[in-house]
Amino acid sequence: MKLNKKSKDNYITYAIVMVAYLIFQILSATGNLSSHMTGLLVPMTYYAVIAVALNLCVGILGELSIGHCGFMCIGAFSSAFFSKLTENVLAWPIRFFLAFVIGIAFAALFGFLIGIPVLRLKGDYLAIVTLAFGEIIKNVINAFYIGVDGNGVHFSMKNSMELNMEPDGNLIINGAMGITGTPHNSNFTIGIIVLLLSLFVVQNLINSRDGRAIMAVRDNYIAAEATGINVTRYKMMAFVLSAAIAGAAGVLFSHNITTLTASSQYFGYNASIMILVYVVLGGIGNIRGSVIAACVLYLLPELLRGFSTYRMLIYSIVLIVMMIVNWSPRVIEKREKLAAKIGFGSRKKIAR
Amino acid sequence: MSFLTYLISGLSLGSIYAIIALGYTMVYGIAKMLNFAHGDFIMVGCYIIFSVTGALSGNSAIGIIAAIVLCTLLGITTEFVAYRPLRGAASPLAVLITAIGVSYFLENVALLIFGADIKSFSSVIKWEGFTLADGQLRIQGVTIVTILVSVVVLVVLQLFIKKTKQGQAMLAASEDKGAAALMGINVNRTIMLTFAIGSALAAIAGALLCSAYPSLSPYTGAMPGIKAFVAAVLGGIGSIPGAMIGGLMLGIIEILSKTYISSQLSDAIVFGILVIVLLVKPTGILGKVIQEKV
């Protein structure tokens, strides 16, 4: 079978993920994985998934979103709500599958609704507005109170007493206290499957006609428009897909945690910036890089305890240095001169 | 009477936003970059005042001067080390991500030095203020000083831009960097000066912010910084009177929505305003329309 370079590249990515999966499974089966380490596996997968989502937005669409954790938050809450509601009605595989459908659908819907105003903007403005939406989502969910009893669903934005439920009612979303007791359905295997699926979708999109249109919009939207590409449509396509994948990460997240709250620790803009660090370090526009960077950067500080105090500090320095080394016109010039001197010739950079 | 109290505290908060927004708007207008770390300069200023005042057993005047000087240096250094190399980079995202990195860096340095616990900041303004209408309306000293300082800053900045050579150089650089350089203006130095002024304003805003809301943590500056950016956009980015108007409006809206609608949703309302402004009038109240050409 003859493969072209791009599909070969894609298969290498899937292979890396599957090899990593096998290694962890073997380690786990032979008892070489501590319980602490086992607990890190699922978070590792959902961080990898959301890093892929953000890279689609930053690297392929070329717009910086600092509110991607907001979409993760929507996916997490909508799916956890559904799972709590149907906990005793449906068998878990069906319920969890439907939870994914619902989480992804809601995240995509909000991606679309938020995309309408956001994608009219560019650059700095777009970044700050995504940040604003991320914070709005977090704040609004923190003010939600939803309960269910014999009379149906009750909803309030004040407090749980306002719901006027029957005494046997079930309070599902309790404002800032969030959702407690979502069934723990996420596991490493499902996480890896979700990661592979999102990789499949994103990598195939990039190599498709639509993907090339999206990248044309990224590189020069005026030229893209002049060649007949519907700029808004392709921007929206990438943005909604990115939001949907972030929603899938949220579903994994919410079904792996006992108490789900819309706290800044998980869904604030600092969390979104963490993911941006993964994307930048893995290489903007390089999907495989994001997955590797997310896994390594998530596991390393958790394993090296002494390092974890300085983790954020080091990340911030890495972010600045990476940007200057990769993008500064003067540094690029020097690097090319050096490369020419050594004899590599001027190697062309792939990312833009 | 209570409405008046809220209005005044809104004006006070708005004045702080206005001072921060002035820094934002100047840097954005001239360097054409969103200095994400601007809010964190505020936090750095607060910590400097906190430490110097603590070391000198309560002499806050020296603390404020130290904060202004050190923040100015910090602004210049940041511009030189992190932002200048990226001027003219192929992607506009590069400098934005770097700015986010700087913001992250400052927050984490503060976290390592001072810890995550919230420090109680003693007000730099010792004046108690006065009460009106038989004690029903109390106006704090901080409030009055904040409003006065913001007005003074606005007037001084306007005079600086309109009347001095350096100010005119800034205007020229904000219009067209290439043309300004041809007219003999040192664009790099002008941008550096802008950062210096913006950072000094951030230090002043920090002193006022922490005097009005006396809790200091490494994340103190982040939210006010972002809201001040909203204010700058609301007023029209690049416009100095616009930053003032935007700041005051935002402060009043925030306090009133906190009081009359919901304290939890007030941030959402403030950010909602940003979204509406960018949709309805992206140039803000006093902004200029810039047509993008090929």
For residue A191, the one-letter residue type is G
Which 8-state DSSP code applies to residue A2?
-
Nearest-Cα distance to chain B for A300, in Å, is: 18
Specify the pairing of strand B215-216 against strand B119-120: antiparallel
Q: Is the pLDDT of residue A348 over 60?
A: no
Tell me if A179 sits within 8 A of A259, measured CB to CB: yes
Cβ-based contacts of A280 with chain B (< 8 Å): 97
For residue A88, the one-letter residue type is N
- Residue B27 buriedness (CB in 10 A; 0-12 / 13-18 / 19+): buried
A326 close contact with B: CB closer than 8 A? yes
Q: Is the pLDDT of residue B43 over 90?
A: yes
Among A87-91, B154-158, B188-192, B289-293, the least confident range: B289-293
Q: Is the pLDDT of residue A347 over 60?
A: no
Structure tokens at B160: 């600086």
Quick one: pLDDT band at residue A197, thresholds 50, 70, 90? Answer: very high
A328 close contact with B: CB closer than 8 A? yes
The reply to whether residue B264 touches residue A117, judged by beta carbons under 8 angstroms, is no
A316 close contact with B: CB closer than 8 A? yes
Question: What are phi and psi for residue B215, nearest 5 degrees?
Answer: -125, 130
The reply to whether residue B264 touches residue A139, judged by beta carbons under 8 angstroms, is yes
How many Å separate Cα B283 from the centre of its chain? 19
Tell me if B86 sits within 8 A of A323, measured CB to CB: yes
pLDDT digits (tens, 9 = 90+) for A141-153: 988 888 887 777 7
Q: Is the dihedral of CA A223, A229, A233, A238 positive or negative?
A: negative
The reply to whether residue B93 touches residue A143, judged by beta carbons under 8 angstroms, is no
A106 close contact with B: CB closer than 8 A? no
Query: In sequence order, what DSSP letters do the residues of A211-273 get, joined into one string?
Result: HHHHHHHHH-HHHHHHTT--HHHHHHHHHHHHHHHHHHHHHHHHTT-SEE---HHHHSHHHHH
Query: What span, in angstroms and rounded, lies between the C-alpha atoms of A219 and A216?
Result: 5
B231 close contact with A: CB closer than 8 A? no
Fold (topology level) of B2-280:
ABC transporter involved in vitamin B12 uptake, BtuC (1.10.3470)
Tell me if A293 sits within 8 A of A279, measured CB to CB: yes
Residue bearing the bigger pLDDT, A301 or A177: A177
Nearest-Cα distance to chain B for A280, in Å, is: 9
So what's the pLDDT on residue B79? 94
Which 8-state DSSP code applies to residue B82?
I
- Residue B282 buriedness (CB in 10 A; 0-12 / 13-18 / 19+): middle
Nearest-Cα distance to chain B for A326, in Å, is: 9
Minimum CA–CA partner of B265 in chain A: A139
Q: Which of A249-253, B1-5, B117-121 has the highest mean pLDDT?
A: A249-253
Q: What is the mean pLDDT of residues A263-290?
A: 87
Quick one: pLDDT band at residue A76, thresholds 50, 70, 90? Answer: very high
Q: Whole-prediction pTM value?
A: 0.86
Quick one: pLDDT band at residue B291, thresholds 50, 70, 90? Answer: low
> Helix A231-254 and helix A92-118: axis angle, to 10°?
140
Q: Is the pLDDT of residue B186 over 50?
A: yes
Quick one: pLDDT band at residue A352, thresholds 50, 70, 90? Answer: very low
Minimum CA–CA partner of B101 in chain A: A316
Q: Which of A185-194, A295-304, B81-90 has the highest mean pLDDT?
A: A185-194
Minimum CA–CA partner of A143 in chain B: B264
B101 close contact with A: CB closer than 8 A? yes
Query: What span, in angstroms and rounded, lies between the C-alpha atoms of A161 and A171?
Result: 10
Please report, for chain A, the start and end positions of each structural domain, with discontinuous segments joined by +.
44-142+178-288
The reply to whether residue B91 touches residue A331, judged by beta carbons under 8 angstroms, is no
So what's the pLDDT on residue A343? 67
The reply to whether residue A317 touches residue B275, judged by beta carbons under 8 angstroms, is no
pLDDT digits (tens, 9 = 90+) for B140-153: 888 889 999 999 99
Q: Is the pLDDT of residue B25 over 50?
A: yes
Q: Is the pLDDT of residue A313 over 80?
A: yes
B151 close contact with A: CB closer than 8 A? no
Cβ-based contacts of B262 with chain A (< 8 Å): 143, 157
So what's the pLDDT on residue B113? 92
Of the candidates A117, A120, A136, the beta carbon closest to that of B268 is on: A136
Minimum CA–CA partner of B84 in chain A: A328
Element (H, E) at B25: helix B2-31
* Count of A-B CB contacts under 8 Å: 129
So what's the pLDDT on residue B59? 76
The neighbour count for residue B156, using CB atoms within 10 Å, is: 10
The reply to whether residue A129 touches residue B275, judged by beta carbons under 8 angstroms, is yes
Query: What span, in angstroms and rounded, lies between the C-alpha atoms of B202 and B20?
Result: 6
Q: Is the pLDDT of residue B194 over 80?
A: yes
What distances in angstroms separate CA A224 from CA A227, B103, B252, one per listed residue? 5, 34, 43
pLDDT digits (tens, 9 = 90+) for B63-76: 899 999 999 999 99
Q: Is the pLDDT of residue A291 over 90?
A: yes
Tell me if A64 sits within 8 A of A54, measured CB to CB: no
B105 close contact with A: CB closer than 8 A? yes
Nearest-Cα distance to chain B for A221, in Å, is: 10
Query: What span, in angstroms and rounded, lies between the C-alpha atoms of B23 and A211?
Result: 40
Please report, for chain B, the start and end positions of each structural domain, with discontinuous segments joined by +.
2-280
Question: Which residues are CB-neighbours of B265 under 8 A, at least 6 positions away?
Answer: A139, A140, A143, A157, B257
Q: Which residue has the tokens 């499902």?
A: A190
Q: Alpha helix locations (H) across chain A?
A: 5-29, 35-55, 68-85, 92-118, 123-142, 188-206, 209-219, 221-226, 231-254, 264-267, 269-282, 287-303, 311-327, 329-342
Q: Is the pLDDT of residue A351 over 50?
A: no
Q: Is the pLDDT of residue B249 over 60?
A: yes
Of the candidates B97, B112, B264, the beta carbon closest to that of A64 is on: B97
So what's the pLDDT on residue B292? 56
Q: Please calculate the CA angle A7-A11-A14 and round it to the nearest 5 degrees.
A: 140
Q: Is the pLDDT of residue A1 over 60?
A: no
Quick one: pLDDT band at residue A155, thresholds 50, 70, 90? Answer: confident
Which 8-state DSSP code applies to residue B16?
H
Among A45-59, A173-187, B36-50, B216-230, the least confident range: A173-187
A132 close contact with B: CB closer than 8 A? yes
For an interface test with B, which of A130, A221, A308, A319 has the most B Cβ atoms less than 10 Å from its Cβ? A319
Which 8-state DSSP code applies to residue B220?
T
Give the residue among A268, A262, A229, A243 at the shortest CA–CA distance from A114: A243
Residue bearing the bigger pLDDT, A109 or A305: A109
Average pLDDT, chain A: 87
Which 8-state DSSP code applies to residue B33?
S
Average pLDDT, chain B: 88
pLDDT digits (tens, 9 = 90+) for A26-38: 998 888 888 888 8
The reply to whether residue B104 touches residue A315, judged by beta carbons under 8 angstroms, is yes
Query: What span, in angstroms and rounded, lies between the C-alpha atoms of A57 and A60?
Result: 6
The reply to whether residue A312 touches residue B111, judged by beta carbons under 8 angstroms, is yes
B152 close contact with A: CB closer than 8 A? no
Structure tokens at A251: 């579903």
